[in-house]
Structure 1
Amino acid sequence: MLQVLSRASPRLSYRLAGWLAGDSQIATILSVIGGGLFGYLGILVGLNAAKEFGGSPALGALAGILILNPASATITLFGEELLPGRGGLIGVLLAAIFIALVERRVRRFVPQSLDIIVTPTIALLITGIITYLVFMPLGGFISDVITKGLTSILDFGGVVAGFILGATFLPLVVTGLHQGLTPIHLELINSIGDDPLLPILAMGGAGQVGAAFAIYFKTKKKRLKRAIGGALPSGMLGIGEPLIFGVTLPLGRPFITACLGAGVGGAFQAAFNIATVAIGVSGLPLAFIVNAGEVLLYLAGLLIAYAAGFIFTYLFGFKDEMAGEFE
Structure 2
Amino acid sequence: MDYKSLAKKIFDITGPEKNILHTANCMTRLRLQLAQAAPETAAQLKALEGVIGVNQTDTELQVILGPGAAEQTAVAFQQQLQAARAQAQAQGKEKAQPAPSGQNSQNQENDIRQKYSIGDGKKLHADIKAKNATPFKLLLKKISGIFIPLIPGFIACGLITGLLNLLLKSEPALADMAWIKMLAIMGNAIFYGMNLFVGFNAAKEFGGSPILGGILAAVITHPALKDIMLGSEQLQPGRGGIIAVLLVTAFGAWLELRLRKIIPTMLDLLLTPLLTILIAGFAAIFILQPIGGMIATAIGDGVTIAIHEGGAMTGFILGGLWLPIVMLGIHQAMTPIHVQLIQEYGVTLLLPILAMAGCGQIGACLAVYFKTKNKFLKKTILSALPVGIMGIGEPLIYGVTLPLGRPFITACIGGAFGGAVQAAFSIGSSAIGISGLPLTTVTSQPLIYLLGILTSYIAGFALTWLAGFDEPE
TM-score by length of 2: 0.62
2: CA distance, partners of 1:65 / 1:183: 18
On the 8 A contact 2:357/2:416 being kept in 1, the answer is yes
Q: Which runs of 4+ in 1 moved over 4 A?
A: 13-17
Deviation at 1:280, TM superposition (A): 2.8
Could you tell me which residue of structure 2 aligns to residue 277 of structure 1? 430
Work out whether 1:35 is the aligned partner of 2:35.
Answer: no
Work out whether 1:175 is the aligned partner of 2:328.
Answer: yes
Aligned counterpart in structure 1 of residue 450 of structure 2, from 287, 295, 299: 299
Aligned counterpart in structure 1 of residue 383 of structure 2, from 230, 240, 258: 230
SS in 1 for 2:347: coil
What is the total number of aligned residue pairs between the two structures? 308
Could you tell me which residue of structure 2 aligns to residue 147 of structure 1? 300
Aligned counterpart in structure 1 of residue 176 of structure 2, from 19, 23, 26: 23
Equivalent position amino acid for 2:327 in 1: V
Aligned counterpart in structure 1 of residue 239 of structure 2, from 66, 86, 92: 86
Equivalent position amino acid for 2:449 in 1: Y
SS in 2 for 1:168: helix
Could you tell me which residue of structure 2 aligns to residue 7 of structure 1? none
Deviation at 1:17, TM superposition (A): 4.7
- Unaligned 5+ runs, structure 2: 1-164
Q: CA RMSD in A?
A: 1.8
Deviation at 1:218, TM superposition (A): 1.2
Could you tell me which residue of structure 1 aligns to residue 211 of structure 2? 58
Aligned counterpart in structure 2 of residue 310 of structure 1, from 452, 461, 470: 461
Deviation at 1:268, TM superposition (A): 0.9
1: CA distance, partners of 2:386 / 2:275: 52
Deviation at 1:19, TM superposition (A): 5.1
Greater CA drift, 70-79 or 158-167 = 70-79
Deviation at 1:120, TM superposition (A): 0.6
Deviation at 1:137, TM superposition (A): 0.7
Aligned counterpart in structure 2 of residue 257 of structure 1, from 389, 406, 410: 410
2: CA distance, partners of 1:167 / 1:134: 39
Could you tell me which residue of structure 2 aligns to residue 3 of structure 1? none
Deviation at 1:161, TM superposition (A): 0.9
Work out whether 1:319 is the aligned partner of 2:469.
Answer: yes
Query: What whole-Å deviation, never above 9, does each CA across 1:131-155 have from its counterpart, x for those lacking one?
Result: 0111111111111111111111111
Work out whether 1:70 is the aligned partner of 2:220.
Answer: no
SS in 1 for 2:439: helix
Q: RCO higher in 1 or 2 (8 Å CA, sep ≥ 6)? A: 1
Work out whether 1:138 is the aligned partner of 2:291.
Answer: yes
1: CA distance, partners of 2:377 / 2:267: 63
Work out whether 1:288 is the aligned partner of 2:438.
Answer: no
1: CA distance, partners of 2:403 / 2:257: 45
Could you tell me which residue of structure 2 aligns to residue 96 of structure 1? 249
SS in 2 for 1:320: coil
Deviation at 1:265, TM superposition (A): 0.5
Greater CA drift, 198-207 or 175-184 = 175-184
Q: Larger Cα Rg: Structure 1 or Structure 2?
A: 2
1: CA distance, partners of 2:443 / 2:426: 11
2: CA distance, partners of 1:94 / 1:189: 19
2: CA distance, partners of 1:150 / 1:107: 41
**Cα gap change, 1:78/1:254 in structure 2, threshold over 3 Å: closer, same or farther?**
farther
- Unaligned 5+ runs, structure 1: 1-12
Could you tell me which residue of structure 2 aligns to residue 5 of structure 1? none
Give 1:161-240 correspondences, 5 Å limit.
Answer: 161-240=314-393
**Cα gap change, 1:80/1:15 in structure 2, threshold over 3 Å: closer, same or farther?**
closer
On the 8 A contact 1:67/1:88 being kept in 2, the answer is no
Percentage of pairs with the same residue: 50
Equivalent position amino acid for 1:18 in 2: S
Deviation at 1:256, TM superposition (A): 1.1
2: CA distance, partners of 1:94 / 1:85: 13
Deviation at 1:230, TM superposition (A): 2.0
On the 8 A contact 1:257/1:309 being kept in 2, the answer is yes
2: CA distance, partners of 1:285 / 1:16: 18
